[in-house]
Amino acid sequence: MREEAEKWFRQALEDLATAKDTITTGHYYASSFWAEQAAEKALKALLIEGGKIERTHDLNALLEIIKEEMGLSVEEIRIEVNKLTLHYTISRYPDAANTVPYSLYSKEDAEELVKKAEKVIEWVKRNLH
């Protein structure tokens, strides 16, 4: 694996650990953000391994690039990516959430998003060379 891709993947794993930790402290909105970040960094690690650098935070866009330019089947994680990508902004910004973000998230929401991030990370792991 390319050194840069490995760094991104290792950070994805750390972000996933942070998402889990913030569930235990009751900061479910933060857990949701870190779950999205874990998935985003894992997908970017895969792109970097393929020689591509993408600056978007849109997980759906990253998935399409992986599909089109790397020729990988992405359907296995499409639902997870669709669910996670929203939380990059709504988990942090009152104007994006139309309320204070912390009030939107429950423990169950955070746990569900962590599971989705885990699935994305496992998929990326299987596709990294």
Give residue-wise pLDDT tens across range 76-115: 999 999 999 999 999 999 999 999 999 999 999 999 999 9
The top-level CATH class assigned to 3-127 is mainly alpha
Does position 129 have pLDDT exceeding 90, yes or no? no
Q: How far apart are CA 67 and CA 19, in angstroms?
A: 27
- Is the separation of the CB atoms in 69 and 52 below 8 Å? yes
Give per-residue pLDDT as tens, 4-35: 999 999 999 999 999 999 999 999 999 999 99
pLDDT of residue 76: 97
Does position 74 have pLDDT exceeding 90, yes or no? yes
Contacts of 5 (CB under 8 A, 6+ apart): 45, 46, 48, 49, 128
Residue labelled with tokens 């690690």: 45
